[in-house]
Amino acid sequence: MVPRSLLSFYCPKLHPSPTVFKHPYVLETSRALLTLFFGWLYTGKVNTTSWYDLTELYFLGHIAGCVALMRSSISQLQKVCRDDQRNHTELFHYGHISVIEEMVGASSPLSRYVEDTYFNHWRPAVDDSVSDDSSKHPESAAFFKKLFERSFLEQREAVNCSCCHDYCKYHDHSEEERLASESPLS
């Protein structure tokens, strides 16, 4: 059980009926994901290294209006997808790109992260080692068109690319938060 006040504070889009206080919230998701969510509520840490679970937590945060959960999930996702020892960044499967865009929108921080990782890390040789064929996912065509157009306007980032090393880039901080983080402490 999670106290209603805690859930309401972190998840403002979960508004129960003001007249029904005794009924629990119903979140339609798996027990494993709820366990991760409750663990995060109490510790502030996302305790998984599964990109799939992290993406699902991000979706839950989006639906519930929980900015802190979305930020925690995407920061952990950046860490999980990056292997500094092999200088390798794991890319999302082609079929998941359209699911992400459908769930949270093409302009969401998660979609921007996926786009940036593809832009900076995808090479044709990557497709040789995966069983995922982009032609089987025609709904992802707009994503790849956007990458193609971007390649004419920008250069890929160097070794310390922001998609792997700038954890705040995908947090969508407000102007006030950004200014507060830039000002020196007195």
Kindly state whether residues 105 and 75 are assigned to the same domain. Answer: no
Q: 35, 33, 40: which is closest to 11 by C-alpha?
A: 40
pLDDT per residue over 8-46, tens digit each?
Answer: 777 777 765 555 556 666 677 888 998 999 899 889 999
For residue 83, the one-letter residue type is D
Share of the chain above pLDDT 70, in %: 77
The number of helix segments (H) and strand segments (E) in the chain equals 10, 2
Distance of CA 64 to the CA centre of its chain: 14
Kindly state whether residues 71 and 138 are assigned to the same domain. Answer: no
Contact yes or no for 95/136 (Cβ under 8 A): yes
Q: Residue 178 domain-assigned?
A: no
CA angle, 120 then 76 then 74, to 5°: 65
Contact yes or no for 134/175 (Cβ under 8 A): no
Q: Is the pLDDT of residue 151 over 60?
A: yes
Say how many domains are in the chain.
2
State both tokens at 117: 């990782």
Kindly state whether residues 8 and 55 are assigned to the same domain. Answer: yes
Kindly state whether residues 66 and 107 are assigned to the same domain. Answer: no
Q: Is the pLDDT of residue 88 over 80?
A: no
pLDDT per residue over 102-129, tens digit each?
Answer: 999 989 999 999 999 888 888 777 666 6
Task: Give the range among 47-56, 145-154, 161-170 with minimum mean pLDDT.
Answer: 161-170
Task: Name the residue range of residue 145's domain.
Answer: 97-169
User: What is residue 50's predicted lDDT score, i.e. its pLDDT?
Assistant: 92
Kindly state whether residues 3 and 78 are assigned to the same domain. Answer: yes
Kindly state whether residues 18 and 75 are assigned to the same domain. Answer: yes
pLDDT per residue over 165-186, tens digit each?
Answer: 787 888 887 767 665 566 555 4
Contact yes or no for 57/74 (Cβ under 8 A): no
Q: Residue 175 domain-assigned?
A: no
Higher pLDDT, 56 or 7: 56
From residue 180, alpha-carbon distances to 74, 81, 119, 166 in Å are: 21, 29, 30, 17
User: What is residue 60's predicted lDDT score, i.e. its pLDDT?
Assistant: 92
Q: Residue 33 domain-assigned?
A: yes
Q: Residue 25 domain-assigned?
A: yes
pTM (predicted TM-score): 0.79
